[in-house]
Structure 1
Amino acid sequence: MKQTFLLILLLSFIPRMLTAQAKPIQEEKFIKIGGIEQWVTISGEDQSKPVILFLHGGPGSTMSQYDDAIYGSWKKDFVLVYWDQRGAGRTFGRNAPEIVTEDYWMETPLTLEQMTADGVELAEYLTRHLVKRKIALVGTSWGSVLGAKMALARPDLFSAYIGHSQVVNFYEGLTHAYNSVSAMAQNAKDQESLDKLKTLGPPPYEDARKEGQLMRVIKKYERQNSIPAPASWWKLASAYDNEKDAKDRYNGDDYSFLYSAGHKKMGIKSMMAGANFMKDGLHYKIPVFFIQGEEDILTPKELTKAYFDKVKAPKKEYVLVPGAAHGHNQAVIDAQLKAVKKLLNLR
């Protein structure tokens, strides 16, 4: 009887002992990647948990500056890594001159190959630094181009790839979007948008400003047909709420978009032009999960579903999220969490 009591007492202490052993991690620092210093943050309540590397969209739309309203609750189950990619946010600010000119833009190119190599080098660092065999990738929009390229190039580094607003063939998608918003504007008798679209003409463009103008029309119609994210999600963390960080984000966003869209007059080639996963991205050696907003105009469901149907992978799944457009909202975050837990065999 005494032995039974002692056994029960011992077992009751085990959960508390395991909890006490959890070692949190909170790192924010520049890491040498691809020959330059790049900003990376790592956080979680227990560094023994699986690691997720988030690849932001844009390119240039960094995530590290926001408070934990979006993914903060994930820290109990995962170690979260945000990365200000080459040309964006604090990475841009660390490496750009004090005065950013057009000469700097033209003399410091961004390429899909270099960005992919940066991502792979970061993943190698994370596996060593955090003592992990593999990490999970979550990429959004432009980040889905980077994520797919990384997953296809080095499957040995990754446990799973979750693509949200997955780019398949950017210019085919942009042409589809142009036709979609043209039809929407026609149905809505939106003469202002119709005039703008007529002036622009169908893509692709040789002037980045034209692509930017088309994006504004696309976003206008996405907002009308989707459920937005709470405004509280985009609150800046206090450490990033200052003039220098704001300037670096602004300049980095312009610089990154210029190389995303391309600008012939300045001799700048589009990074997106080299992305066609229907041609060279159909065979994954790791599980893949595609999360698609039903109201996404920029990366439309027609193209992502056609791509998903052709993809070969050990495990794959496609989720269409009602009420979601190209960006994040609560339903998208919920779908991402479900996907990560499913692919990593977590409850």
Structure 2
Amino acid sequence: MSNIKINSISCLFTLFFFMSTALLWAQSESINEERFVSIGGIEQWITIKGDDKSNPIILFLHGGPGSTLSQFDNNMYAGWEKDFVLVNWDQRGAGKTFGRSAPSDINEEYYVENPLKVEQMTKDGVELTRYILDYLDSQKLILVGTSWGSILGMKMILDSPEIFDAYLGHAQVVNFSRNIDYAYNKVHELAIESEDLISLDVLDSLGEPPYDDARSYGQLLRIVKKYERDRSIPAPDAWWEIAAQYDNDKDRKARNDGDDYSFINFVGHAKLGIESMVSAIDFDKDGLVIEVPVYLIQGEQDILTSKELTKPYFDKIQAPKKEYFLVPDAAHGHNQSIVDKQLAVINQILSQK
């Protein structure tokens, strides 16, 4: 064989090798971004992380409102980046988004003049979803909402079902007023059974909800969390470790201030004239016909958003597909069983596409 032929074969092999390598690299290009994007007229913080940016996208809606997830080392969903693109969002009024737009000193005037509204946050969520889909050149994504995030998630899929593959509601709120009434009566019953005189004294002094003061809701929720902890397996402490880049005074202040601001808007505070942003939420009335597959993941020991409300609601839902999962050792928040069930359901969704 002549040198010309050998060189030609060598060149072709080299070209093929580089083309194959480039194609492989393009198919598995990773993404790891943390930044502000303009959503709803303000700058809002998002993180986008995945080993392959062409993988299915999951958008997480944190609870609270105000209880952001972006600041944690990703121990809760460790390893998920291999198969999915994970998007976390500090919603309006929370975390770095709140810190970006709020003044350094938060006063009563700021609370009064800057109310949070479910309608605006729903628009934010839909706009963000469209941005993510365009940015990652995808058609749809899977939406995962927890607690308050389940209100926002339900509103988003009702508003724009065409941009979502499916909705996973964890600790799904059905009707805030009925949820909180049930929680009060349940912990009052448990306090009597366990002769918990300290909790009984607080509950009796509060009386049954609704309350005019956000602090009263806070007192009730502390007792609810106490009884949920006693009846469920907690999440590992490592899940709540703050990532180094968020472990600073500025971000810590934004998270704390945003949490207070969001909670007061969530439950309302009569003295400041702030109405509860969720007082009118009733998915039994306007959340029964859903155009995307719906999966509800329910902790059996959840008192705040109990199975006594979520299961009857689920039974009435009309959707292309729906499933309800009761997790025995879980309460309102995340633990390993909840995260495992989320993963199983997401893999089930993708296997059926």
Both structures adopt the same fold (TM-score exceeding 0.5): yes
The separation in 2 between residues aligned to 1:299 and 1:289, in whole angstroms, is 15
Q: Contact between 1:160 and 1:344, CA under 8 Å: does it hold in 2?
A: no
Matched AA of 2:124: D
Alignment match, 2:57: 51
Say if 1:58 and 1:141, in contact at 8 Å, map to a contact too: yes
- Once the two structures are overlaid, the 10-residue window that deviates more, 57-66 or 26-35, is 26-35
CA distance in structure 2 between the partners assigned to 1:94 and 1:273 by the alignment: 28
AA at the equivalent of 2:169: G
**Is 1:299 aligned to residue 298 of structure 2?**
no
Gaps of 5+ in 1: 1-9
1:279 correspondence with 2:285: yes
Residue 268 (1) aligns with residue 274 (2): yes
Unaligned runs of 5+ in 2: 1-15
1:204-243, Cα deviation, whole Å (9 max, x unpaired): 1111111010000100100100000000000000000000
Contact between 1:112 and 1:274, CA under 8 Å: does it hold in 2? no
Counterpart residue number, 1:5: none
Q: Say yes or no: does 1:312 pair with 2:322.
A: no
Aligned equivalents of 1:126, 1:226: Cα separation in 2: 36
Distance in 2 (CA, whole Å) between partners of 1:182 and 1:83 is 36
Q: Which runs of 4+ in 1 moved over 3 A?
A: 14-21
Offset of residue 274 of structure 1: 2.2
Deviations 1:265-302 (A, max 9, x none): 11101111121100100011110100000000000001
Aligned mates of 2:126, 2:350 — CA distance in 1 = 20
In 2, Cα distance between equivalents of 1:220 and 1:82: 28
> For 1:330 and 1:127, how far apart are their aligned partners in 2?
29
Aligned mate of 1:288, from 273, 283, 294: 294
Contact kept, 8 Å, 1:289 with 1:318, in 2: the verdict is yes
* Distance in 2 (alpha carbons) for counterparts of 1:21 and 1:113: 38
1:161 matched to 2:205? no
CA RMSD after TM alignment: 1.6
Identify which of 18, 26, 29 aligns with 1:23. 29
Does structure 1 residue 32 correspond to structure 2 residue 38? Answer: yes
Cα distance, 1:20 vs structure 2: 7.5
What's the CA shift string for 1:60-107, capped at 9, x where partnerless? Answer: 000000001011311111100000000000000000012111111111
Q: Is residue 208–residue 261 contact of structure 1 (8 Å, CA) maintained in 2?
A: yes
Indicate the SS of the match to 1:160.
strand
Of residues 58, 69, 77, the one that matches 2:75 is 69
* 2:147 corresponding residue in structure 1: 141
Residues 1:230 and 2:208 aligned together: no
2:27–2:54 contact (8 Å) kept in structure 1: no
Q: Supply the distance in 2 between the matched residues of 1:103 and 1:182 (Cα, whole angstroms).
A: 36
Structure 1 counterpart of 2:327: 321
1:94 corresponds to which letter in structure 2? R
Counterpart Cα distance in 1 of 2:291 and 2:26: 37
Q: Which residue type is aligned with residue 59 of structure 2?
A: L
CA distance in 1, matches of 2:196, 2:27: 61
Q: Deviations over 1:26-58 (max 9, x none)?
A: 111101111000001101000000111000000
Contact kept, 8 Å, 2:174 with 2:313, in 1: the verdict is: yes
Q: What's the secondary structure of 1:124's corresponding residue?
A: helix
Matches for 1:166-177 after TM superposition, within 5 Å: 166-177=172-183
- The separation in 1 between residues aligned to 2:163 and 2:276, in whole angstroms, is 28
The residue aligned with 2:256 is 250
Shift of 1:186: 0.2
* TM-score normalised by L of structure 2: 0.92
Query: Aligned partners of 2:278, 2:27: CA distance in 1, in Å?
Result: 46
Identity of aligned residues (%): 58
| Structure 2 residue 220 is matched with structure 1 residue 214 | yes
Residue 192 (str. 1) matches residue 194 (str. 2): no
31 and 15 in structure 1: CA distance in 2 versus 1, 3 angstrom threshold: closer
CA–CA distance in 1 between the matches of 2:172 and 2:292? 16
Counterpart of 1:337 in structure 2: which amino acid? L
What is the rounded CA distance, in whole Å, between the counterparts of 2:352 and 2:251 in structure 1?
37
| Aligned match of 1:331 | 337
1:115 equivalenced with 2:121 (yes/no): yes
CA distance in 2, matches of 1:185, 1:56: 30
Match of 1:6 in 2: none
